[in-house]
Chain A
Amino acid sequence: MIGFTCKYAPAELLAGFGAETGLLNLEAENFDYAQDLTHMNMCSHIKALLEEVHREGIRELLLVDCCDSMRRAADILKDKLDFCFLLDLPHNDDACARRHFAEELMRLAQEYQTYSGKTFDYRRFRGAFTGEDRDVSRDFIAVMGARMGTRQFENLSKAVPMRLEDFTCNSSRSMSPPPDAPADTTDGAHTKYAPDRAAAPGGQDADPRYAEGSVAGADVNMDSLMEWYAGELLAQIPCMRMADIKRRREITESPNLRGIIYHTVKFCDYYGFEYEMIRRSVSVPVIKIETDFTMQSLGQLSTRIGGFLESMGIGKEAIVTGEGRYYAGIDSGSTTTNVAVLDRQGKLVDYAIVRTGAKAQRGAQKALDALQIPAEEIAVIVATGYGRQNIDFADACITEITCHAKGAWHLAPGIRTIIDIGGQDSKVILLDDSGNVANFAMNDKCAAGTGRFLENMAKVLETDLDGMGRAGLSWEEDLTISSMCTVFAESEVVSLIADNKAVSDIVHGLNKSVASKTMNLVNRVKGRGRYMMTGGGARNRGVVGCLEALVGEKISVPEIPDLCGAIGAALFALEAAEQKGRDS
């Protein structure tokens, strides 16, 4: 099988030679092999591609020079495989570019023929066109942006109760087949083609890739066929790498579009730009998810997708309610599990905060056991937080985005922006005038700006989070921790300790760093006052102070900031019971 990775790859041309082709798009378990061959900061898809080629024993590859990373992948692989061709794809789509691309397609045909010894057959070529399998005439959610790993897309399809249409860079392939029998079929005649032979480059212009050659035995005039084919390939909805991207609006202007899941790949820069433009210009809900082409980030993704679906008003489960006078919300976080219990009036009557430990279910049980109110008096339990799906005694699961919004609005009606700094996630949620989620942003996989970051730094400073919270208030020298990477920041802290800098000043530098990182999220959702800060991070007065300086106003902090999500979940439990009462 000849592997390819891009919608501009001329798979039909190779099929015309009788070759089997297949899209390479699988996530990697790890990048051990790839990192031996290239740099760890390369595009994650390229590292996954190197892993897939190695793991699956791929010997033949057709690559398109989509981006800098793909060019380097071709450099790395070309001497390791039997056949590895890098197609020079133009950035423009005008007559000159199409001619240039047709020459490239002929170069591929020649090289593949030389390599395989096979002849081109027009019927095989035509038969390889699968046509349009997309249906935008009914409601759909578009998956846009950079390619999404096959398994990730499958998971997404299961999680989203609406039809997904894949418009990512390697999947929006759409071409009509050529006519049944082209007028210029030469019926087995020997068709010669040598792109640059007529110009006969010599001396410094000579390029070994443009040697003399021909597509022997082709049953069609290859010149005109490739010109047609080049035009068809270039006329697809453009990816962000192309110079003119106006036609991408066809996706967002579809009348049946209900929402957009925008996917970006770590260390691929092409699509972040379009996401911002789309976010500002479309009226349907948009969610951005970034993956690194591994399967390790599903927990965080499910929160985002859940929040996105809840904001669209779909995917909410009907809550089955039991007997009892109380309503509980369990927020299963990476560090702590928090449970809040409300009475029928919505008053907080009990709560517990325990360490989550290794299992979310066990942590949740531990939290319930820590309550003074017995479990049998709880009518409904709603779970939230990253471990919510694993708590099997919960009556329903709702994402922490929606629960935080609910909880914050309940605690302080009128709040517009919630800043939540949790153990492994930081998130900022923008509320509308009724307290519903209007927008939200979460940190990427990087730990910078999260509770975990401060926890690590506390260890380096030989203190704990409470100690850091106190120390950051009494700073004197305005130090700046410049590194945005957690690991580098740790080294920087070590250097500052070595320079005899005061712990309080270092802590202040760290607080500023967390505040600055969080402020990016605030700006991303266009945060506005009044602000509330929740999560364990809100206990750190130093961080709150730095954020107050950046937003320019006082930030409200609930009495027990860790409980906001759990209170929101408990409110959903209460509402479900009230609804049941009305229904009966």
Chain B
Amino acid sequence: MNDTVRKFGGKMTELVRSEHSVAARRTLALVFRAYGDAVRFSSGGDLLPARRYVMGFCNRKMADSIARPGRAAVVSLFTPCEIFEALGIPVMVPEGLSCYMTASGCDRVFLEKAEECGVPETLCSYHKMLIGMAETGVLPRPRMIVNTTMVCDANQLSFRYLAEYFDVPHLVLDVPDACSAGNIRYLSDQLRGMKDFVEKHSGRALDEGKFRKTMLRASETLENYRRCLSLKSVRYESIRMTYHMMDALALHPFLGTEEGLKYTEMLKKQLARLPLLQPGEKRRSRILWVHMMPYWQDSISDMFRYHADAEVVCCDVTFDNYSVLDPEQPYESLARQMLQNSLNGPSERRIRRVLKLARQMDIDGIVYFCHWGCKQTLGASAMAKEAFEQAGFPTLVLDGDGCDTRNVQDGQMMTRMGAFLEQLEALR
């Protein structure tokens, strides 16, 4: 975090503390847009134009989601947003918004506010931040809230809290663990109910043609990203950790958008033009990152940005399922996509998926990131490490926090990561 960001964060914190929350929100939205546009239209550097484009459009969408009260829907990361996209309703997702607050240097004021309101300190900090933003008045009143029960317990808590706080309609999609035909039926019926719910509370009718087109774009986006991954398996691309998280946004809440599709098409073409890794060529250690990334933490991200010997090739949460979307059966295929998500259900499913990705991407080592408060990830850490190492992938279990800057220990993390990279270097 550079001095400019730190100063900006300080100013935002002052605005929030002096109860000028609307001014803080407007300033944040303005700066997100301006920064996104500045990156998108900048030139030079190693960054592919596609990466600059994704920063531009994600920033714009994030700014839109908080710009005015009563417009956006608050959703969980795995809520299928194609219905919202087809209805033209912006979405706000805690993981995205919280990362933006941390990157803007103003996380503490929101996290402290949430804790003052009695939110447990051990709650996932992404969700804690969203509650703090609401309680300080920076998060505008949403139009509605829709969340799934999958992957993260915090969904059941923070979204209910926000629905009561703002007194807005709230829908919970109950996602079972297994992908059986009965469960697809159970979930697809709920998704039809979600469509009715969104229509009712937005006053807009879903145009089936638009919905099919959105589904088609989502399907093509996923197919493009699949191709991007296979291109990256034999090519080197210099990117900062930030852009892996941008991919997570493009492939979750913004899946099905025109911008998301355009991004993956650009990326596919531009990756294809990068030089191939040559057999026998000394290469960087190729890391697969499991779970969210503390991309704002300079000490860690700089190790990959500047370390000549290591790169994070991919992250498992950016692309967490292999299911194919069928625009002709939108509800069933969205249900299948959620049920088959590698983060849903037993941890062995995620472990298998990571191993498959690691082999496909020619990975040298795996970093398993234990984000504070994420019991799903913490709980499986010992099993995952054992399974990955048995399969021949050295693994580092790294404790940290995806967005709470108060809750990290730079020195410890750097030592662990540094030693792990040295271990990989010695093995090559």
Contacts and interface: CB of A to CB of B under 8 A. Distances in A.
Interface of A: 36-39, 41-43, 46, 65, 67-69, 71-76, 86, 88, 90-92, 96-97, 99-100, 103, 195-196, 199-201, 204-205, 207, 209-210, 240-241, 243, 245, 264, 266-270, 272-273, 275-276, 279, 482-485, 488, 491-492, 495, 516, 519-520, 523-524
Interface stretch (B43-51, B275-283, B371-379): B371-379
A525 B346 CA distance: 41
B336 interface: yes
Contacts of A67: 153, 375
Nearest to A271: B120
A483 B407 contact: yes
B405 interface: yes
Contacts of B189: 96
A75 B122 contact: no
Interface of B: 108, 112, 115-124, 149, 152-154, 156-157, 160-161, 172, 174, 176-186, 189-190, 323, 336, 340, 346-348, 370, 372-376, 378-383, 399, 405-412
Contacts of A75: 346-348, 379-380, 383
Contact of A43 (B118, B179, B375, B408): B375
A207 B379 contact: no
Contact of A524 (B118, B160, B190, B347): B118
A42 B112 CA distance: 23
B186 A72 contact: no
A32 B161 CA distance: 36
A97 B124 CA distance: 27
A76 B381 CA distance: 10
A67 B123 CA distance: 13
A37 B157 CA distance: 27
10 contacts: A41-B122, A42-B375, A72-B347, A100-B183, A210-B180, A243-B172, A243-B174, A269-B124, A270-B153, A482-B407
Contacts of A264: 120
A96 B379 contact: no
Contacts of B405: 482
Given A199-B182, A516-B112, A269 B373 contact: yes
A151 B66 CA distance: 49
Given A75-B348, A92-B174, A273 B382 contact: no
Nearest to A68: B375
A491 B181 contact: no
A39 B381 contact: yes
Given A76-B383, A491-B411, A41 B183 contact: no
B177 A65 contact: yes
A269 B174 CA distance: 19
A524 B346 contact: no
Nearest to A482: B406
A491 B182 CA distance: 53
Contact of A276 (B118, B149, B156, B409): B118
A90 B174 contact: yes
Contact of B379 (A38, A268, A523): A38
Given A76-B383, A92-B172, A69 B118 contact: no
A103 B178 CA distance: 13
Nearest to B340: A204
Given A71-B346, A243-B174, A273-B119, A196 B379 contact: no
A483 B401 CA distance: 11
Contact of B152 (A68, A91, A266, A272): A68
B346 A199 contact: no
Contacts of B383: 75-76
Contacts of A196: 180-182
Nearest to A197: B181
Contacts of A523: 116
A207 B153 contact: no
**10 tightest A-B contacts by CB?**
A72-B379, A276-B118, A199-B181, A272-B120, A68-B375, A39-B378, A201-B181, A523-B116, A243-B172, A68-B376
B381 A38 contact: yes
A69 B379 contact: yes
Contacts of A88: 176-178
B178 A210 contact: yes
Contacts of A272: 118-120, 123
